[in-house]
Amino acid sequence: METGLTAPTDGKNRAGRVIAVRGPVLDIKIDGVLPEIHEAVAVQAGEATILAETQSHLDEKTIRAIAMQPTQGLWRGARTESTGQPITVPVGDGVLGRLLNILGEPADNGAEFAPDTARRPIHRAAPPISRQSAATDIFATGIKVIDLLAPLAHGGKAAMFGGAGVGKTVLVMELIHAMVSGYDGISVFAGVGERCREGHEMLHEMKASGVLDQTVLVYGQMNEPPGARWRVPLTAMTIAEHFRDEKARNVLLLMDNVFRFIQAGSEVSGLLGRRPSRVGYQPTLETEVADLQERIASIGNASVTAIEAVYVPADDFTDPAVGTIANHVDSMVVLSRQLAAEGIYPAIDPIATTSVLLDPLVVGQSHADVAGQVREVIEHYRELRDVIALLGVEELGAEERRAVGRARRLQRFLTQPFFTAAAFTGAEGRSVTVEDTVSGCRAILDGECDEWDESSLYMIGTLDEAREKEKALRGKSGGGKAAA
């Protein structure tokens, strides 16, 4: 198997042999120079070469390494060779339009990369703060609820948090669709521990939309060893950094799913015999997440903008993995199972969803005021839901009934048909400007839509579309009365 690594030419003895195999964990006796932590070790398994990464030094002559590829059939006594460097992956224009694995090898049945393709190590320090530039330029997505309540920034980090089946991957796919049309830059997609089917769907969708030539797909899927799933985000980040630093190109980095990165790290930690920390996670949880997230930054005029899907285990937002990731993001989009059950799609919770960019100095005073009022009205409605369930809405005062009606209309106005879900919903996708979103919400808050049917505002784009639906509904009801 081609690893792209060349043997060091310094004349030092780097040979060794495997003395223990426990799944993906290898204990290796080194005959010569002890490899450093994170240094790659090539293990000869018959005709194939398995690449492993050094994780710890057991004594002066023994290391413990984690394999990046399956170790079935590997035997004790197999010869090894330290490479003198970390795992490296190909970077540059040659990887555009390709599907790669953790080691940077083609996984799309395409041609091998040229021998002179530039390669970079996957381990790298975050850029110093003195070189980083602040991210304040808004990244309009065309998705109403995100643009209103959790605006994204060029060079920022946004995370979509949600349990199983509430729409994280669909939302990330829609963001890709929304951004490729108006985004002048490179897209790098990291599929971390996800299903094989999703990788094929992503590849075919990129081809169909004509954006594959400006995209790199990197996958470490759930059927692969934990070491591969653990290092896939670093492979994608290395490719993104090359375009940012050496090509001065803006990069959109998409990761689905960052929780699987943490989960793989927890598996590796257990296999290495480390004592678990809170809720069974690895003791190095904070460090591993920071090493990845702090590399996402803007340098000069080029930026890496990250959009990450994060699985929330058992819908428990107090989980240490969820909290650790949330500490690093600028925009936090929270998906709600309750809203999904009510048919509100995207099922984004307008109260829990936040962004540091929702500031009058960034988005403007009008936008910030409308967003605050929307949150306030919906929060008041939630407080009244128990009363409504017990006594009925008729028992509320006139002012509260009006507030409940506006909150329900706002919730429905913030729904939206997605382009990527058109095959399932039968509705054509909509993209809405920030100005239309803000003006539509302001009209509902001001009472312009108090007499409208709620269904007129459901799964539409702008308020003008809702106005046309309302006219059509009134025309039907008027025609029915006339016939009666």
The residues that are catalytic are: 168, 194-195
CA atoms within 13 A on the CB side of 190: 32
Tokens of 394: 């008729």
Whole-angstrom Cα distance, residue 62 to residue 8? 20
Tokens of 17: 């042999």
For residues 435-472, b (16+ Cβ closer than 10 Å) or e, as one string?
Answer: ebbbebbbbbbeeebeebeeebbbbbbbbebbbebbee
Q: Which residues contact 103 (CB under 8 A, 6 or more apart)?
A: 3, 4, 51, 68, 69, 87, 89, 235
CB 192 within 8 A of CB 221: no
Whole-angstrom Cα distance, residue 355 to residue 340? 22
Whole-angstrom Cα distance, residue 213 to residue 250? 15
Written as one letter, the residue type at 471 is K
CB 214 within 8 A of CB 243: no
Whole-angstrom Cα distance, residue 118 to residue 350? 45
CB 405 within 8 A of CB 393: no
CB 258 within 8 A of CB 323: no
CA atoms within 13 A on the CB side of 432: 28
φ, ψ for residue 121 (rounded to 5)? -70, 145
CB 15 within 8 A of CB 35: no
φ, ψ for residue 259 (rounded to 5)? -60, -35
Whole-angstrom Cα distance, residue 133 to residue 250? 13
Cis status of the peptide bond prior to 283, with omega within 30 of 0 = no
